[in-house]
Homo-oligomer: A and B are copies of this chain.
Amino acid sequence: MGATKHEIFQDQINEEAAIFNALGHPARLAIVKTLLTYKTCVGNYLTNEIALSQPTISQHLKVLKNVGIIQGTIEGKSVCYCLNHSLIEKLRVFVGDMLIQYDLHQSNCNC
């Protein structure tokens, strides 16, 4: 064993978990926060801002891109990154639903 058994879960759960998982590393969360602050941002800025090597930052950017959280556009010799609108909407809906469901009956826990 050793690998996650994705096949026993619904596609939707796997997809949502993949999004949370991508946000679940401090370097990647720092990248997302930078994009929230500056709206767009070139890769090299992140490499200077975060104390990790260029290949490591590149790898984290790839993870965020693969789940659709960010997108990158080539601009000369740079790549300009920004958050992916549809993905943020998906996160909004999912977390919103979650919290609504929580409010409906979680105000007190009887255990």
Instruction: Tell me the A residues contacting B by CB distance below 8 Å.
Output: 4-6, 8-9, 13-14, 16-30, 32-33, 36-37, 39-40, 50-52, 71-73, 75, 80-83, 85, 88, 91-92, 95, 98-99, 101-102, 105-107, 109-111
- Chain A binding surface, main DSSP class: helix
Interface centre among A22, A82, A109, A111 (most CB of B within 10 A): A111
Extra inter-chain contacts (17) besides given A9-B30, A75-B111, CB under 8 Å: A6-B26, A8-B51, A14-B26, A16-B29, A17-B24, A17-B25, A17-B28, A17-B29, A20-B23, A36-B98, A39-B109, A40-B109, A40-B110, A82-B106, A82-B111, A85-B107, A91-B95
Q: What chain B residues lie within 8 Å of A83 (beta carbons)? A: 102, 106, 109
Q: How far is the CA of A109 from the CA of B46 in the complex (A)?
A: 18
Q: Please, which residue of chain B has its CB at the minimum distance from the CB of A13?
A: B26
